[in-house]
Amino acid sequence: MGSYQSESRYYLHVQLVGIEPPIWRKVVVPGAISLHTLHKMLQVVMGWENAHLYLFRLTINEKTIVYGLLDPDWEDVGMRIRDSRRTTLDATVWAEWLTLTYEYDLGDSWMHQVTIEKIEHLADENLGEDSLWIIPRCLAGERACPPEDAGGIGGYTSLLELLQNPKHPEHERLRQWVDASYDPELFSVQQANSALAILE
């Protein structure tokens, strides 16, 4: 995905809600990216496949603002969605005490708590051409995200139990479904950053 011209960078902690032990990532991204670009970056570092719809939610003073890709279906269910492609991260979340919720796959409803750990603003004297380029990267993380279409938290919990029980009649079928290489405990920062580097 290359570098970005930006005057701020955001250190984010992203954690899947409702799963223990936790599945989480720490990332640093430019403040000038759109929320849609942030979605694509989160897909990469979490390990999702970008196969479903998503929403960002920001609550300020008990009012929730929802961002996503515009679709006529949202109007049919009475939801007002702001275009995530036209909304930048730094225009949405301008303070460290604000928290975004990122929901991926509205069927399985994977909820991610996005906490802004730190916002760095580049000082005026550092606004030279070279210093404006910020490369997004993953700093740390633990555990693989659930497989796509696992059925939400309940389905994922059942899946892990069956994968750990070779005697269960469904074990072999599910092992083939998730791919023989799937390991729920495995996460590689290096692989995440390699994928970020080629993200378009």
Dump pLDDT digits (tens) for 49-96. 999 999 999 998 889 999 999 876 666 566 789 999 999 999 999 888
Q: How far apart are CA 48 and CA 193, in angstroms?
A: 14
CATH H superfamily, domain 4-144+185-197: MM3350-like (3.10.290.30)
Residues with pLDDT less than 70, the chain:
1-6, 72-78, 123-133, 162-178, 180
* Domain range annotation of the chain: 4-144+185-197, 146-184
For the beta carbon of residue 17, count every other beta carbon within 10 angstroms. Answer: 15
Q: How far apart are CA 187 and CA 45, in angstroms?
A: 9
Give pLDDT, residue 74.
64
Q: How far apart are CA 182 and CA 160, in angstroms?
A: 11
Q: What percent of the chain has pLDDT over 70?
A: 78
The four Cα atoms 161, 163, 167, 170 give a dihedral, to 10 degrees, of: 100
Give pLDDT, residue 160.
77
Q: State the distance between the two ends of the chain, measured CA to CA, in whole angstroms.
A: 5
* 73 Cβ neighbours under 8 A, 6+ residues apart: none
